[in-house]
Structure 1
Amino acid sequence: MKKYTGILLFLAMISEADMIFSQYPVYRIYPSVSNQIEPFIVRHPLNPQIMFASAYTIYLNFRSEGIYVSTDGGINWRGTDTCNGAPINGGHGGDPGPIIDKDGRFIITHQGGAVAGMYANYSTNQGLTWSNNYPILTGDQDKGAPATDDAIASPYYGRTYLAWTRFSTPFPIVLSYTSNGGVNWSSIIQVNNSFGGNRSFGPSIGVTPSGKVITVWASSIPVSPFIEDYIGVGISTDGGSNWSVSENAIDINGIRTTALSPWTIRANSFPVIDVDKTGGARNGWIYVATSSKNLAPAGSDPDIILYRSTNDGVSWSSGVRVNQDPMNNGRNQFFPAVRVDEDGGLNIVYYDNRNSVDSVDVYLSRSLDGGTTWSDHRITGQKFRPQAVSGALGAGNMGDNLGLTSGNGKLYPVWMANYTGLFQTWCANIDYATIGIQQISSETPKTFSLNQNFPNPFNPATTINFNLVKNGYTSLKIFNSAGKLVKILAEQNLNSGSYSVKWDASNEPSGIYFYTLETAGLKESRKMILVK
């Protein structure tokens, strides 16, 4: 390991020493001596082996954006804690926004300092070298959020967008775009005007399969700590030039604070967005996740809440509580990241202290039915205590987000944690085909069967075993006594063999339930009893 004044450059390979083993192997993607916070991760639109992650990096008084690259599906990573787009000292100040466009060009957007300008660099060699800083807009700017149009049918295919907050009255969301891989950026387009004195913060941006651009943001009350009151939605049908805006599309009660209890870290309810572009049954559905409390369906403590639109953002569903721990238990779920994987599964990762008052895990919640029902999965095998990061600007700043992408049948969440003393960027490579399902034998059984759950009656969890004699698409669903679907435990391709899956019914009422297994033209159902 070598030190350079103001510049840290390493080649990182995943080694056993950098892993924490849990249900999923957890590793640092780029071990270093810098703090790495606010991690994001994206994948190449056409090659899922290529991924680009970034973080806001801090070493003493030097700040930059980390450049972390994998070209083999997350097995190995290389990188640096310093974006080398000139000027290296100055002009780099965090809020990184990594993007890979349709041509494989890497783009990184970032601030020039604390709320100081919005800049971009591009790389034509997968992050080894970078163009000089491009000043998209100087002055007071904050929280850039990029997205690229990777829908081949879109008239704006290949265009990359960047939305952020102009940090002056009326605190609107503004946008710029590039149509040539970051060489030039458009003039600034104002998306909204804010309303009722509220301020617009924390945008997130997505693109539909037809090329419509959807931007969401938090509309916050104008008094510190600027608690989020609504989620605003902007829709553009002409590549970002003009916008149809609803300033109060979704009613929320945010969690923004500079001292989230029981810690003294800042937290927020900035929304995050993703769009289903799988071509499947829910193609084009838009999903937005945030943290909320004291407004149904959230409880009295911060919960992850999902909203969805099936008509390009014109109208939105009521909220669905994502995390499945008991309501009003005094535990916090915050900083969600959302991703629709290539098979249409809906995935949200977030920090969660359900297992400890003092420390957090990273949890994954996954839905196979477009966000109606959810299963929770603990990713991390080691907790950490949230705390403000030395050198990060702003009271209680531990960073404001996690990241999530997918490819190769896997999910790749990234998060910041101080397991090693420094806040570093960690990742897990999660095979989502086996989330929640354990194959207990690969030997082909003699007969197809669905076993009786055990224990039965049960409270609150039970285990279901089943045997498959053929490879094929398999579903395992749970219904209540009225025939209403309450949970999808499996809906995916499985090989022949014996399997086990656990159902936690903590949030379901006592009663009789039925579970049904279907595969390869075969079907079997059984009854079970939940007694609380």
Structure 2
Amino acid sequence: MKITINLVFLILIVSTSTFLPQGSGLFIGENYILYPSNVNQTEVFVTSHPTNPNILFASANTIVFQPFFISEGIYLTTNGGVSWYGSDTCNGANISFHQGDPGITIDKEGRFILSRLGRQPFYGIYSHYSTDNGLNWSSQNKITSDGESLYERATLVTDNNHSSPNYGRTYAAWVKLSGSFPVEFSFTDNIASPWNSTRTINSFTQRSAGPDIEVGNDGEVFICYALVTSISPFNETGIGFAVSTDGGNSWSVANNVFPVNGINGVLPQKSNIRVNGLPRMAVDKSNTSTRGTIYIVTTQINLAPAGSDPDIILYKSKDNGITWSSGIRVNQDALNNGKTQYFPAIDIDKFGGINIIYYDDRTTTNDSTSVFLSRSTDGGLSWTDYKISDHNFKPLPIGGLGQGYQGDNIDIVAVENKLFPVWMDNSTGIYQIWSAAISFEPNKVENYQESIEDFYLYQNYPNPFNPTTKISWRSPINGLNTLKIFDVLGNEIATLVDEYKSKGYYEVNFNINTVQIGKLTSGIYFYQLKVGEFIETKKMILLE
């Protein structure tokens, strides 16, 4: 029996959503606190599950003064952000020696992974993992090899691409706060096992700071970092970039791929809070013409295209970091208007949209701030700005934690057609993690139909899958499109598409529960696309 599935985009618009006039296709809900508590929550990160879009994991520095205690918050949702639960303390031993500064990821097994700093006598960077969605955590596992030195926070990423040669490998990068302040790196193929020995990525005399790490579409590992001056305020002067094509065993390093003029220091107009111009990075993994593009976003001042006040500046590379574009000014308010943008975070959605959040005081006084999202659907050529916070707040330093400390970053993650931004906000009298439900219309991403000059059948996602996976392709011609599923013996399982289509990009869902021939068992299956003379077949795996 022939089965035809037509693609339908489902847009979630809750009753509290507000449609903003700055652009079309974006819906922003009311702001809310992820996990209300009486504990300061700062330096927040968020990540998504590799196969379950309803599971998100966030963490933050959590700080109590009486008695003094620093840990790492554990905040979870299993229903796509409708509700959150968690704790302000990671319960992995040794709890008394946690020092915060979390990095987070979720591996191919669905295990939550957290890195954090250790306190005397357990100096170093340690990891914990959870197999029950963050309720319980393993004992500490040391990542760094030198227990005497101090370190910056580690950033984590897991290669969850099933076709990658290093599928499931988790990577960590950090800066060692001694010597020449080099970027260091390690990895593990099993978070329950010891980490590999530490590798030094760069050995230059100029200090490094704030590395970020990402995985490419073919298993490449990318690390970017700031080059900073050797004297206070340690201003960012350039961006270094390193790439590994063998799972982190060897590296190609360029110490200054483009110059920057960062903002490391304090903002006097905002009660001298501490800020920085450290880079954040994302890789386009969409099935669009911008797939594979690497984006690095920074905060800069007095270096074009930045003006005389801090602006958000983006760079991109289409050749794995060999060459880079000129800087692109992201925020679209007037240049040199005396307004301040800082702490950008970036993620690329599955449709190729670039999404960058940051603090911005363009709609309030200079001693306060709000949160904005800038979104581009054409590879960064044009931008639309949205105010996503429904109130302003006045940032203040948290006393006793170093000059001007209020936390050094915010974050965003894209899942399907939804965006999940997280930021710290002290409007309740204490810093808490805030967010807003954001959804968008996928067909507003112009790249999806842009420059289709050849045929391409994409790898299904997720893969392995159960019970549903997405299959997408592009065709440069008008004609009959046929997409079928076969088992390993060549028996036809289902016909998903058999109809005339105009040239363009298409995507369908395959759900094993819709198959009419009976229950499918775990194993290898094939999907085949025919358009005119073009025929291509790819493998997918069903895991029950």
1:390 is matched with: 399
CA drift of 1:394 comes to 1.9
* Equivalences, count: 421
Once residues 18 and 316 of structure 2 are traced to their aligned partners in structure 1, the CA distance between those partners, rounded to angstroms, is 35
Alpha-carbon contact 1:404-1:411 (below 8 Å) kept = yes
Once residues 416 and 256 of structure 2 are traced to their aligned partners in structure 1, the CA distance between those partners, rounded to angstroms, is 38
Once residues 322 and 302 of structure 1 are traced to their aligned partners in structure 2, the CA distance between those partners, rounded to angstroms, is 11
2:100 is matched with: 94
Are positions 1:41 and 2:51 aligned together?
no
SS of 2:154 mapped into structure 1: strand
Amino acid at match of 1:103: E
Q: Residues 37 and 344 from structure 1, CA distance in 2 versus in 1: closer, same or farther, beyond 3 angstroms?
A: same
1:446 is matched with: none
1:417 is matched with: 425
Amino acid at match of 1:72: N
SS of 1:386 mapped into structure 2: coil
SS of 2:143 mapped into structure 1: strand
1:177 is matched with: 187
2:91 is matched with: 84
1:501 is matched with: none
SS of 2:441 mapped into structure 1: helix
Once residues 308 and 273 of structure 1 are traced to their aligned partners in structure 2, the CA distance between those partners, rounded to angstroms, is 10
SS of 1:89 mapped into structure 2: helix
Once residues 269 and 375 of structure 2 are traced to their aligned partners in structure 1, the CA distance between those partners, rounded to angstroms, is 27
Once residues 41 and 251 of structure 1 are traced to their aligned partners in structure 2, the CA distance between those partners, rounded to angstroms, is 29
2:457 is matched with: none
- Equivalent residue runs for 1:57-72 within 5 Å: 57-60=62-65, 61-72=68-79
CA drift of 1:238 comes to 1.0
2:238 is matched with: 230
Alpha-carbon contact 1:24-1:380 (below 8 Å) kept = no
Q: 1:347 aligns with which of 355, 360, 375?
A: 355
Once residues 275 and 377 of structure 1 are traced to their aligned partners in structure 2, the CA distance between those partners, rounded to angstroms, is 22
Once residues 311 and 73 of structure 2 are traced to their aligned partners in structure 1, the CA distance between those partners, rounded to angstroms, is 30
SS of 1:66 mapped into structure 2: strand
Q: 1:54 aligns with which of 52, 55, 59?
A: 59
2:374 is matched with: 365
Are positions 1:255 and 2:260 aligned together?
no
Once residues 336 and 119 of structure 2 are traced to their aligned partners in structure 1, the CA distance between those partners, rounded to angstroms, is 39
Q: 2:307 aligns with which of 292, 299, 310?
A: 299
CA drift of 1:182 comes to 4.5
Q: Residues 423 and 102 from structure 1, CA distance in 2 versus in 1: closer, same or farther, beyond 3 angstroms?
A: same
CA drift of 1:260 comes to 4.8
Alpha-carbon contact 1:122-1:183 (below 8 Å) kept = no
CA drift of 1:30 comes to 0.3
Once residues 202 and 387 of structure 1 are traced to their aligned partners in structure 2, the CA distance between those partners, rounded to angstroms, is 23
Alpha-carbon contact 1:217-1:231 (below 8 Å) kept = yes
Alpha-carbon contact 2:377-2:444 (below 8 Å) kept = no
CA drift of 1:358 comes to 1.8
Q: Residues 116 and 385 from structure 1, CA distance in 2 versus in 1: closer, same or farther, beyond 3 angstroms?
A: farther
Alpha-carbon contact 1:160-1:181 (below 8 Å) kept = yes
Alpha-carbon contact 1:70-1:78 (below 8 Å) kept = yes
Alpha-carbon contact 1:208-1:284 (below 8 Å) kept = yes
CA drift of 1:342 comes to 1.4
2:203 is matched with: 193
SS of 2:210 mapped into structure 1: strand
Once residues 233 and 425 of structure 2 are traced to their aligned partners in structure 1, the CA distance between those partners, rounded to angstroms, is 25
- Equivalent residue runs for 1:211-230 within 5 Å: 211-230=219-238
CA drift of 1:69 comes to 0.6
Alpha-carbon contact 1:20-1:381 (below 8 Å) kept = no
Q: 2:117 aligns with which of 111, 119, 124?
A: 111
Alpha-carbon contact 1:107-1:182 (below 8 Å) kept = no
Amino acid at match of 2:109: D
Q: Residues 395 and 149 from structure 1, CA distance in 2 versus in 1: closer, same or farther, beyond 3 angstroms?
A: same
Amino acid at match of 1:27: Y
Alpha-carbon contact 2:378-2:445 (below 8 Å) kept = no
CA drift of 1:474 comes to 8.6
Alpha-carbon contact 1:153-1:209 (below 8 Å) kept = no
Deviations 1:67-106 (A, max 9, x none): 001011001111000000001111x112111111111010
Deviations 1:328-375 (A, max 9, x none): 011111111000011111000000011122210100000001111111
Deviations 1:197-224 (A, max 9, x none): x210000011100011110001001111
Alpha-carbon contact 1:122-1:131 (below 8 Å) kept = yes
Amino acid at match of 1:428: A
Deviations 1:373-412 (A, max 9, x none): 1110000111011111234x22101111001111141100
Alpha-carbon contact 1:173-1:190 (below 8 Å) kept = yes
Q: Residues 369 and 318 from structure 1, CA distance in 2 versus in 1: closer, same or farther, beyond 3 angstroms?
A: same
Once residues 216 and 182 of structure 1 are traced to their aligned partners in structure 2, the CA distance between those partners, rounded to angstroms, is 27
Q: Residues 28 and 473 from structure 1, CA distance in 2 versus in 1: closer, same or farther, beyond 3 angstroms?
A: closer
- Structure 2 gap ranges (5+): 1-16, 21-27, 448-500, 503-544
With normalisation by structure 2, the TM-score equals 0.74
1:161 is matched with: 171
Deviations 1:466-523 (A, max 9, x none): xxxxxx77969xxxxxxxxxxxxxxxxxxxxxxxxxxxxxxxxxxxxxxxxxxx99xx
Once residues 145 and 280 of structure 1 are traced to their aligned partners in structure 2, the CA distance between those partners, rounded to angstroms, is 27
Q: 1:380 aligns with which of 379, 382, 389?
A: 389
SS of 2:257 mapped into structure 1: strand
Are positions 1:27 and 2:37 aligned together?
no
Runs of 4+ in 1 over 6 A off after TM superposition: 19-22, 472-476
Alpha-carbon contact 2:342-2:359 (below 8 Å) kept = yes
Identity percentage of aligned residues: 47
Are positions 1:324 and 2:329 aligned together?
no
CA drift of 1:54 comes to 0.2
- Equivalent residue runs for 1:502-513 within 5 Å: none
SS of 1:347 mapped into structure 2: strand
Once residues 44 and 398 of structure 1 are traced to their aligned partners in structure 2, the CA distance between those partners, rounded to angstroms, is 28
Once residues 412 and 369 of structure 2 are traced to their aligned partners in structure 1, the CA distance between those partners, rounded to angstroms, is 18
Q: Residues 204 and 31 from structure 1, CA distance in 2 versus in 1: closer, same or farther, beyond 3 angstroms?
A: same
Once residues 328 and 424 of structure 1 are traced to their aligned partners in structure 2, the CA distance between those partners, rounded to angstroms, is 31
Once residues 85 and 475 of structure 1 are traced to their aligned partners in structure 2, the CA distance between those partners, rounded to angstroms, is 45
Q: Residues 475 and 346 from structure 1, CA distance in 2 versus in 1: closer, same or farther, beyond 3 angstroms?
A: closer
Alpha-carbon contact 1:260-1:266 (below 8 Å) kept = no
